[in-house]
Amino acid sequence: MTAPLFLVPPGTLAPGTTSLHLDGPEGRHAADVQRLAPGEPVLVGDGAGRIATCTVTTAHRGALDLDVHDVREELGPDLRLVLVQALAKGDRDLMAVEAATELDVDEIVPWQADRSIVRWKGERADKAHRRWQQVALAATKQARRARIPAVAPLADRGALVARAGAATLALVLHEDAEEQLTTVDIPSRGELLLVVGPEGGLTPAELEALTAAGARPVRLGRTVLRTSTAGAAALSALHTRSGWR
């Protein structure tokens, strides 16, 4: 089984680090919940590209002492995958965030689509945004990722159209699209923006605005997927096309 991953603040893992003291919430989880013991392997990451391979030397209440064997740094990808995920009810958008993180997405943009039943306003917006970040963080640890995907501020139609216009390639999943995702030429660098609408789909005005900005409507296949699974299916297809970078 792969060693568990625990996260420390950026800047903690410098090249040449030989030992670590893991405390705080991560240390308590490792020592008191997972009950890791001396001799067991552990991964420690800073969420910004560095991961250390370690072995537990001493287990305390709420903390571990670790022997660091090596620190590797994962450079950012040439092609950034950005998922624009429409807000959805019943935690379906959170399911999409979790799956996308496990599938190595680089950034997730919450989108207030016209047909999104859920609305982020006031204190609820801040709380919901933090929840997306927490889900991405937990999925990062589950996937043993070196980098935590960024969760962008909530986007409205104007912000999304601007983002689509600036992307190297912007794709909009749409059930009536003639072009298949599997036939699209994938760029080797830049930013690939993937737009997933809400349960009710995109409105004609949204689709028109996005295509006018240069986005291309594409479909996955014959079936219509939920907003919670569409992004994951599309990311899997894109990874397969690009060789699972």
Question: At the fourth CATH level, which superfamily is domain 5-73?
Answer: Hypothetical PUA domain-like; domain 1 (2.40.240.20)
Burial class (CB in 10 A: 0-12, 13-18, 19+), 9: exposed
Identify the pLDDT of residue 155. 96
Query: Does the structure show a pLDDT above 90 at 124?
Result: no
Q: What's the average model confidence in pLDDT over 112-141?
A: 94
Identify the pLDDT of residue 244. 62
Give the CATH number of domain 79-242.
3.40.1280.10
pLDDT digits (tens, 9 = 90+) for 159-185: 999 999 999 999 999 999 899 999 999
Phi-psi region of 94 (alpha: psi -120 to 50; beta: other; left: phi over 0): alpha
Domain borders along the chain are: 5-73, 79-242
pLDDT band at 243 (very low <50, low <70, confident <90, very high): low
What is the value of pTM for the model shown? 0.93
Across the chain, what does the average pLDDT equal? 94
pLDDT digits (tens, 9 = 90+) for 28-52: 999 999 999 999 999 999 999 999 9
pLDDT digits (tens, 9 = 90+) for 86-107: 999 989 999 999 999 999 999 9
Strand, coil or helix: 119 = coil
Largest Cα–Cα separation, the chain: 61
CA pair distance 164, 210, nearest whole angstrom: 7
